[in-house]
A and B are shown apart, each in its own frame.
Chain A
Amino acid sequence: MENLTTRGRATRLGATALGLALLLVGTLWGADDDFPFGPFRMYATSNPPNEPAPDTRVEGVDSAGTVIDLGQDATGIRRAEIEGQQGRYAEDPALLREVADAYAERHPGAAELVEVRIVIRWHGIRAGRPTGRHTDETVVRWQAPR
């Protein structure tokens, strides 16, 4: 049996209490910014039973006119990150140029993107169940200066 010293025990008790206190404060008043002590808010927002659900995607148009899916595999940027910064993109659509750059970085030979847009597909929901119908809405658009 390997016992702790009095000091070792006290330090551990203190560390446990401090960690728990930070986590509680984070949960009660904190935000994601306080990582790793922020609130565990995965899927915590409430959506009314009949509110359409957004399915966000980023797509681009290259110089040949082809529409290209700019998902995580194409750019290294996760969908939730686009959604998390959507306000920034809406304020300054030119920021979408960074997404085009991230795409170019990963596809050196590909045709240049002349347009990048954030599109939300709104899926209908009734009584907490998907209806199977949807509409697309372009919320931010950036076009390369010609």
Chain B
Amino acid sequence: MSRWLTEPVPRGRVAAFRTLIYLFVAADLVIFTPWVRTRAGVPGALYEPLLIGRVLPLPTPTPALVAVIFWALLLISLLAATGRAPRLLGWAVCALYLEWMIIAMSYGKVDHDRFGLLVALAVLPTAGRARHGDSTRTEAGGWALRVTQIAVICTYFLAAWAKLRFGGLDWLTGSVLARAIIRRGTDLADLIAQVPYLLIVAQFGIVAFELLTPVVFLLPARWRLAMVGFFYSFHLVTIATITISFAPHLAAMTSFLPLERVRPLVWARRLVGRSAPDPEGSALPNTESDPRGADTQAASAAGSGETAPAPAGTGAEGAVPGGQPSVTGRPAGP
């Protein structure tokens, strides 16, 4: 069990996952859950702190507090995406994002789409330094990825459990999907809703799917990837029908993927190198073993477009536009 929990992974995978998760945090602030910022204008009387906010005890959000956390989190998460000072910056992002989420969820509605992301943020600082492209295996990094995977699968499996706890077996034959479609369905969903019994069949399918997700840990590597692909397609359908994105969960789920093979900046540089006059073709081996830096810094610059302090002259700037979508695009949706 302990072996499995800390099964070593290449450091390059940890580096890629780290960059992706911290870029996602920045993107979450401005793209995926921008409404948290509107807390600045919501009167304090509507603040109903969660247990964790009462125990700690955290202050009632004011416009100043919301603004300070927003900008600090944006800046630090982009810095953390470079892979520098993984412990210091990682813990800072973890604490600030948790407080950001407590603010978000303390006005009468708690979202359940980001347990995996919160776990990833809590364990990434413990994974230690990791360079992009480094194939050295690390147990600390392996544990960080493994517990993120467990959190992702728990989100599915325990969601089925919650359905049985709160809805009972009647959930299966009830009208929960019809209700979701009425409240936030797309035209596609309205079409699907016309088919007799299809929504009920889908309800059985959802619970079966959720209960079976732990099987992913028993499969051989190739089938495991296929199953994770199926998870992503499940969310694609959810987005297309009832417009629920679960973006933070999708970002955390990349912990299952061999991310070290995704090297957008290396690829972009290779492309640039091909068109540039470089008859020796000597740049490639160097970029592969490039000490951590240019790769990640430029990625962070791509994510921010303004704030990342990427040193000039790394030669990676030109590669940024080509590299960005592969890095930031993944968490946006399957």
List residues of A whose CB falls within 8 A of some B CB. 1-4, 8-9, 12-13, 16, 19-20, 23-24, 27-28, 32-36, 38-51, 53, 55, 72, 75-78, 80-85, 95, 98, 101-102, 105-106, 123, 125, 127-130
Contacts and interface: CB of A to CB of B under 8 A. Distances in A.
Contacts of B228: none
16 contacts: A1-B136, A20-B150, A23-B158, A27-B161, A32-B105, A34-B51, A35-B52, A35-B105, A45-B166, A46-B166, A46-B176, A47-B175, A77-B46, A77-B107, A81-B46, A85-B107
B171 A130 contact: no
Contacts of A43: 163, 176, 180
A124 B181 CA distance: 12
Interface residues of B, number: 74
Nearest to B114: A36
B2 A13 contact: yes
Nearest to B170: A46
A35 B102 contact: yes
A2 to B, nearest CB: 4
CB-CB nearest 9 A-B residue pairs: A76-B38, A84-B108, A46-B167, A80-B109, A81-B108, A53-B179, A40-B159, A32-B110, A85-B108
A8 B35 contact: no
Contact of B182 (A44, A46, A55): A55
Given A46-B171, A85-B48, A19 B147 contact: yes
Dominant SS among interface residues on chain B:
helix
Given A95-B45, A106-B41, A130-B181, A41 B139 contact: no
A9 B1 CA distance: 11
B115 A105 contact: no
B109 A123 contact: no
Interface in B131-181: 136-141, 143, 147, 150, 154-155, 158-159, 161-163, 165-168, 170-171, 173-181
A2 B119 contact: no
B178 A53 contact: yes
Contacts of B154: 20, 23
A72 B34 CA distance: 11
Nearest to A84: B108
B5 interface: yes
Contacts of B222: none
Given A35-B101, A38-B112, A106-B41, 19 more contacts: A8-B140, A12-B5, A16-B147, A27-B161, A28-B165, A38-B110, A39-B158, A41-B112, A41-B166, A42-B111, A51-B175, A53-B175, A78-B107, A85-B108, A102-B43, A102-B46, A125-B175, A125-B178, A129-B194
Given A27-B161, A130-B181, A48 B119 contact: no
B107 A81 contact: yes
Nearest to A72: B35
Dominant SS among interface residues on chain A:
mixed
Contacts of A76: 35, 38-42
A13 B143 CA distance: 9
B182 A123 contact: yes
A45 B167 contact: yes
A27 B165 contact: yes
B313 interface: no
A130 B185 CA distance: 11
Contacts of A125: 175, 178-179, 182
B213 interface: no
Given A35-B51, A40-B112, A130 B35 contact: no
Given A39-B165, A128-B175, A16 B183 contact: no
B158 A129 contact: no
Contacts of A46: 163, 166-168, 170-171, 174, 176
B180 to A, nearest CB: 6
